[in-house]
């Protein structure tokens, strides 16, 4: 495995191996000194072309806990507008001699292009509407910790699917691990075509939530309102939000998830966000060991031999 | 008399096929009656055309030459060299230069540069000032300079009333050479396509890229058919890319409305699956569509619904394409691969290819007096010698264009231009530009 660009490049076995590896790193985090020397001497660049404090911090911690050197390379997406091509930026980073580039970019496919221009391993930390593979891995990790796995589990993903990299990578990861995915949202927020997607679509959120193991809510962006995806925030909350009333429709053992940051009172009511079934903070905690697993898998001793267990 | 001979080939034009040697008077640039006896006895230059088709030079209704304004991507000279290598002897320059070709000054500049080009440069001009869709350009003044095609290409004219006025005004202009004036439309309702960087469908949904639905094109095709019906003035539809557009144009022609249409090689040789690489070399407007659309474009070319193959040759510098897919500009090279792709991908007789690449576009562009055949004594010698069986691999580093953004790099194709003769001058010999 040279890069981690998208979930569909991983087999079920790859996914399970990464989750297993993450479990080991989670134990490391419990220690007094939550650090291992696995990537000593390796350099990881965090190239964030789009701001994301949470994801960057999580990768930063993950790399440091593996003893890698970490460099932050913040670039505004607008450098392109100023005349610098993405390739120039990447070759500049590459020329400094780095082992991995963690890329967050507002444009779908940017990490794929970057991978063609660097010798370093590229980790996709979220690209446009396309993929957010480490989010999918940490979500799978969180579900697996609670439910023992995803086989046969029903997961409803609710909200703006079309503009969500989390949705695209989670659909692939959840189904690859045996889960069953139901997409819920207005047609304005579904991809124009779902041909080839292993999902069901349920326009009625109350019908969808009645029988799921996991209710996964996506963040709604205000700009979608301006683009005519829904008429008012009030109406969105009433028809597609996880309100206090709607909470009663969930099974008592159902899990509530959200990639954060939450819009309390829009896609999720404040009281719901604080419900014990809501795993948002567990998801955040899972981020560090999962990202340690990814970096270790790409840069660690087992890098070139997928069969060699760490 | 200094004569150029083209020997051993099969002449293919609207008069049919015949195996004859051709003679060209180098002083006048005209085809003349070939003297009897071996060419070596009467010609001072002989171009071998053995195994080749000798055809009227191709005419491209749709070329971006980038001059003035973006000479790093292309110049009129480099673009004309690419055209000559592709067998084209006349090309229509699109007006989206910087500044825009919406005034006599800029059109005159293009004409001036075009004088030393390796093919005829026929400037088009914008329908509206700055291609902003708000006020008509001085169409009469521009027509007096020789402009016969008006287009806001790069964008469609969104305002239906202004398009109506443009058709009525252009349709009533009287020009000295009696050639028709045509309004050429980039059919795209931008309100429906906005935010789209590729075809909207299965692939865009998977890739997480914004899509342009086929309907954004078809709505304007339908609107302009209605305006052609309303005004009786011809509309030329640029780069048709969808099955629905082809069906609309087919029906309009059956009802006798004055519409013509072109299609580009990339729209019959590639599908939206190519975008899965996220390489913006595959980004183009209108976007690459589905396999069903490709089949419909081919059918439209075969049954005469689509009148011409045009390249929409759109050079871009490497750095402008070394951006994420959504940020890179749309457009791809086309001049040097058009014949090969048409010959490879379309199951058409050579006569039909000549019609699509030369005879009909020459008429639409208003250059039929000099281009588009027939090849006979007294006509200007604007010719291409094409080997329909030669196979070759497209190599972006071997292009005459200033740019390298061909989506066909590495693709094996069949059919190659050997020689191109422009006004009697052999501007390309054995694939090599002579100046």
> Which tens digit of pLDDT belongs to each residue from A228-273?
899 999 999 999 999 999 999 999 999 999 999 999 999 999 999 8
**Start-to-end C-alpha separation, chain A:** 14
Catalytic residue check, B224: no
Q: Is the dihedral of CA B223, B226, B228, B231 positive or negative?
A: negative
Mean pLDDT for the stretch of residues A185-200:
96
Chain B residues touching A191 at Cβ < 8 A:
205-206
Q: By residue range, what is the domain housing residue A203? A: 133-283
Q: Do residue B325 and residue A107 have CB atoms under 8 angstroms apart?
A: yes
Confidence (pLDDT) at A309: 38
B60: β partners: B91
Segments in chain B below pLDDT 50: none
- Same domain for A52 and A148, yes or no, is no
B330: helix, coil or strand? coil
- Same domain for A195 and A221, yes or no, is yes
The rounded distance, in Å, linking the Cα atoms of B330 and B327 is 9
The full DSSP string for A268-292 is: B-HHHHTSTTB-HHHHHHHHHHHHH
Q: Which of A8, A75, A85, A171 to mutate to test the interface with B (most CBs of B within 10 A)?
A: A85
Is any Cβ of chain B less than 8 angstroms from the Cβ of A109? yes
- Same domain for A142 and A252, yes or no, is yes
> Which tens digit of pLDDT belongs to each residue from A288-302?
999 999 999 999 986
Report the CATH number at residue A197.
3.40.50.1370
Residue A306 lies in a domain: no
Confidence (pLDDT) at A307: 40
Q: Do residue A86 and residue B277 have CB atoms under 8 angstroms apart?
A: no
- Same domain for A145 and A268, yes or no, is yes
Q: Which of B205, B211, B316 to mutate to test the interface with A (most CBs of A within 10 A)?
A: B205
The rounded distance, in Å, linking the Cα atoms of B138 and B125 is 10
Q: Do residue A193 and residue B208 have CB atoms under 8 angstroms apart?
A: no
Chain A residues touching B202 at Cβ < 8 A:
193, 195-196
Find, in chain B, the residue whose alpha carbon is nearest to that of A165: B208
Residue A16 lies in a domain: yes
A272, A244 contact by CB (below 8 A): yes
Which alpha helices (H) appear in chain A, and where do they start and end? 12-30, 53-65, 86-95, 110-117, 133-147, 165-176, 205-209, 222-226, 233-240, 244-247, 270-273, 280-299
> Which tens digit of pLDDT belongs to each residue from B245-268?
999 999 999 999 999 999 999 999
Check for a shared fold between B3-53+378-388+398-433 and B57-365: no
> Which tens digit of pLDDT belongs to each residue from B158-183?
999 999 999 999 999 999 888 889 99
Q: Residue with structure tokens 């701001």?
A: A51
Cα B427 to Cα B302, B392, B431, distances in angstroms: 31, 21, 10
**Residue A187: other Cβ atoms inside 10 A:** 10
Confidence (pLDDT) at A252: 94
Q: Tokens standing for B301?
A: 């070319």
B91, B122 contact by CB (below 8 A): yes
pLDDT band at A80 (very low <50, low <70, confident <90, very high): low
Confidence (pLDDT) at A279: 97
Q: Which of A109, A124, A193 to mutate to test the interface with B (most CBs of B within 10 A)?
A: A109
Closest listed residue to residue B316, CA positions, set B144, B64, B12, B78: B64
A60, A288 contact by CB (below 8 A): no
B322: helix, coil or strand? coil
> Which tens digit of pLDDT belongs to each residue from B373-422?
999 999 999 999 999 999 999 999 999 999 999 999 999 999 999 999 99
The full DSSP string for B284-308 is: -SSPP--HHHHHHHHHHHHHTSS-E
B371: helix, coil or strand? coil
Confidence (pLDDT) at A77: 54
- Please report, to the nearest 10 degrees, the dihedral formed by the alpha carbons of residues B132, B135, B139, B142 taken in order: -50
Q: Is A228 exposed, middle or buried (0-12, 13-18, 19+ CB in 10 A)?
A: exposed
Confidence (pLDDT) at B178: 87
- Same domain for A294 and A231, yes or no, is no
- Same domain for A68 and A176, yes or no, is no
A 153-212 residues with CB below 8 A of B?
162, 165, 168, 191-197
Residue A304 lies in a domain: no
Residue A142 lies in a domain: yes
- Same domain for A172 and A266, yes or no, is yes
Q: Do residue B209 and residue A109 have CB atoms under 8 angstroms apart?
A: yes
CATH architecture, range B57-365: Alpha-Beta Barrel (3.20)
Domain boundaries, chain B: 3-53+378-388+398-433, 57-365
Find, in chain A, the residue whose alpha carbon is nearest to that of B202: A193
Domain count, chain A: 2
> Which tens digit of pLDDT belongs to each residue from A149-159?
999 999 999 99
On the question of a cis peptide bond just before residue A51, with omega within 30 degrees of 0, the verdict is no
- Taking the CA of residue A197 and the nearest CA in chain B, the distance in Å comes to 8
Is any Cβ of chain A less than 8 angstroms from the Cβ of B215? no
The rounded distance, in Å, linking the Cα atoms of A195 and A65 is 41
pLDDT at A304 over 50: no
Q: Tokens standing for A3?
A: 């890069």
Beta strands in B96-253 (DSSP E): 120-123, 149-150, 182-185, 198-199, 211-212, 235-237
Q: Do residue B208 and residue A192 have CB atoms under 8 angstroms apart?
A: no
Q: Do strands B22-25 and B30-32 pair parallel, antiparallel, or not at all (unpaired)?
A: antiparallel
- Same domain for A127 and A145, yes or no, is no
Q: Tokens standing for A12?
A: 């079920």
Give the nearest partner residue to B324 out of A86, A168, A194, using CB atoms: A86
Q: Do residue A127 and residue B208 have CB atoms under 8 angstroms apart?
A: yes
Confidence (pLDDT) at A302: 60
- Same domain for A123 and A30, yes or no, is yes
Cα–Cα–Cα angle for A267, A268, A273, nearest 5°?
155
Find, in chain B, the residue whose alpha carbon is nearest to that of A171: B206
The rounded distance, in Å, linking the Cα atoms of B68 and B331 is 18
B 239-278 residues with CB below 8 A of A?
277-278
Chain B residues touching A108 at Cβ < 8 A:
207-209, 278, 324-326
Q: Which of B60, B293, B307, B312 is catalytic?
A: B312
- Same domain for A142 and A60, yes or no, is no
Confidence (pLDDT) at B144: 97
The rounded distance, in Å, linking the Cα atoms of A2 and A12 is 17
Radius of gyration of chain B (CA): 21
Residue A305 lies in a domain: no
Q: How many CB pairs under 8 A join A and B?
A: 75
On the question of a cis peptide bond just before residue B99, with omega within 30 degrees of 0, the verdict is yes
Residue A308 lies in a domain: no
Closest listed residue to residue A5, CA positions, set A119, A95, A134, A139: A134
Confidence (pLDDT) at A83: 65
Q: Residue with structure tokens 């590896």?
A: A21
Provide ipTM, 2 decimals.
0.94
Is any Cβ of chain A less than 8 angstroms from the Cβ of B200? yes
- Same domain for A100 and A236, yes or no, is no
- The DSSP secondary-structure symbol of B357 reads I
Closest listed residue to residue B124, CA positions, set B139, B136, B112, B113: B139
Query: Is the CATH number 2.40.30.10 carried by domain B3-53+378-388+398-433?
Result: no
Give the nearest partner residue to B208 out of A86, A108, A195, using CB atoms: A108
pLDDT at A76 over 90: no
Q: Is the dihedral of CA A298, A299, A304, A306 positive or negative?
A: negative
Confidence (pLDDT) at A221: 84
The rounded distance, in Å, linking the Cα atoms of A111 and A104 is 8
Give the nearest partner residue to A109 out of B200, B322, B324, using CB atoms: B324
Q: Residue with structure tokens 């009433």?
A: A238
Chain B residues touching A110 at Cβ < 8 A:
278, 324
pLDDT at A82 over 90: no
- The DSSP secondary-structure symbol of B358 reads I
B5, B34 contact by CB (below 8 A): yes
- Same domain for A112 and A216, yes or no, is no
Chain B residues touching A107 at Cβ < 8 A:
324-327
């Amino acid at each position: 495995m040279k890069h981690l660009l998208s979930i569909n490049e991983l087999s079920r076995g790859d996914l399970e191996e990464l989750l297993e590896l993450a479990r080991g790193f989670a134990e490391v985090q419990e220690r007094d000194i939550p650090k291992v020397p696995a990537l000593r001497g390796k350099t990881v660049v965090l190239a964030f072309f789009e701001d994301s404090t949470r994801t960057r911090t999580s990768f930063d911690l993950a790399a440091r806990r593996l003893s890698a050197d970490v460099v932050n390379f913040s670039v505004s997406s607008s450098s392109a507008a100023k005349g610098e091509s993405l390739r120039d930026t990447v070759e500049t980073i590459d020329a400094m001699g780095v082992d991995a580039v963690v890329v967050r970019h507002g444009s779908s496919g940017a990490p794929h292009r970057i991978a063609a221009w660097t010798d370093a391993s590229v980790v996709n930390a979220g690209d446009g509407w396309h993929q957010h593979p480490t989010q999918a891995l940490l979500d799978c990790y969180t579900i697996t910790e609670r439910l023992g796995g995803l086989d046969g589990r029903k997961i409803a993903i609710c909200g703006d699917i079309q503009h969500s990299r989390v949705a695209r990578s989670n659909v692939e990861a959840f189904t690859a691990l045996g889960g069953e995915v139901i997409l819920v949202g207005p047609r304005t927020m579904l991809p124009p075509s779902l041909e080839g997607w292993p999902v069901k679509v349920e326009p009625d959120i109350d019908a969808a939530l009645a029988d799921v193991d996991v209710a996964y809510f996506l963040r709604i962006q205000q700009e979608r309102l301006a683009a005519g995806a829904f008429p008012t925030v009030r109406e969105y909350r009433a028809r597609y939000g996880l309100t206090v009333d709607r909470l009663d429709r969930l099974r008592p053992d159902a899990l509530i998830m959200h990639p954060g940051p939450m819009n309390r009172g829009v896609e999720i009511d404040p009281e719901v966000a604080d419900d014990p079934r809501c795993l948002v903070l567990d998801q955040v905690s899972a981020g560090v060991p999962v990202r340690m697993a990814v970096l270790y898998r790409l840069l660690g001793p087992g890098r070139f031999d997928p069969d060699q267990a760490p | 008399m200094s004569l150029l001979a083209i020997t051993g080939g099969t002449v293919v034009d609207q008069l049919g096929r015949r195996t004859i040697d051709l003679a060209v008077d180098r002083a006048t640039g005209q085809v003349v009656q070939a003297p009897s006896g071996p060419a070596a006895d009467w010609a001072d230059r002989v171009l071998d055309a053995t195994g080749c088709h000798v055809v009227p030079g191709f005419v491209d209704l749709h070329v971006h030459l980038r001059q003035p304004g973006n000479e790093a991507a292309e110049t009129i000279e480099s673009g004309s060299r690419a055209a000559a290598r592709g067998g084209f002897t006349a090309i229509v320059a699109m007006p989206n230069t910087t500044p825009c070709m919406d005034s006599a000054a800029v059109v005159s500049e293009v004409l001036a540069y075009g004088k030393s080009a390796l093919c005829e440069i026929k400037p088009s001009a914008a329908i509206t000032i700055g291609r902003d869709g708000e006020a008509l350009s001085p169409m009469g003044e521009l027509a007096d300079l020789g402009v016969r095609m008006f287009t806001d290409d790069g964008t469609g004219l969104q305002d239906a009333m202004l398009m109506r006025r443009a058709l009525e005004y252009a349709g009533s202009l009287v020009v000295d050479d009696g050639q028709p004036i045509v309004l050429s439309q980039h059919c795209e309702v931008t309100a429906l396509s906005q935010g789209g960087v590729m075809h909207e469908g299965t692939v865009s949904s998977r890739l997480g890229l914004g899509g342009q639905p086929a309907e954004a094109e078809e709505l304007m095709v339908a609107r302009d058919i209605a305006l052609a019906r309303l005004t009786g003035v011809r509309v030329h539809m640029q780069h048709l890319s969808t099955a629905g557009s082809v069906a609309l144009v087919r029906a309009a022609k059956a009802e006798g409305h004055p519409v013509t249409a072109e299609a580009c090689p990339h729209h019959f040789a590639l599908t939206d699956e190519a975008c899965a690489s996220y390489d913006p070399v595959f980004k183009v407007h209108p976007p690459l569509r589905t396999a069903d659309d490709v089949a419909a474009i081919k059918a439209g070319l075969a049954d005469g619904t689509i009148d011409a193959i045009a390249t929409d040759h759109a050079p871009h510098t490497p750095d402008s394409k070394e951006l994420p897919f959504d940020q890179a500009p749309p457009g791809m090279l086309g001049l040097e691969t058009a014949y090969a792709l048409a010959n490879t991908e379309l199951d058409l007789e050579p006569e039909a290819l000549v019609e699509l690449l030369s005879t009909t576009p020459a008429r639409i562009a208003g250059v039929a007096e000099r281009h588009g055949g027939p090849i006979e004594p007294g006509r200007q010698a604007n010719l291409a010698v094409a080997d329909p069986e030669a196979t070759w691999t497209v190599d972006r580093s071997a292009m005459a264009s200033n740019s390298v953004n061909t989506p066909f790099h590495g693709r094996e194709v069949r059919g190659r231009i050997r020689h191109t003769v422009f006004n009697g001058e052999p501007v390309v010999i054995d694939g090599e530009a002579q100046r």
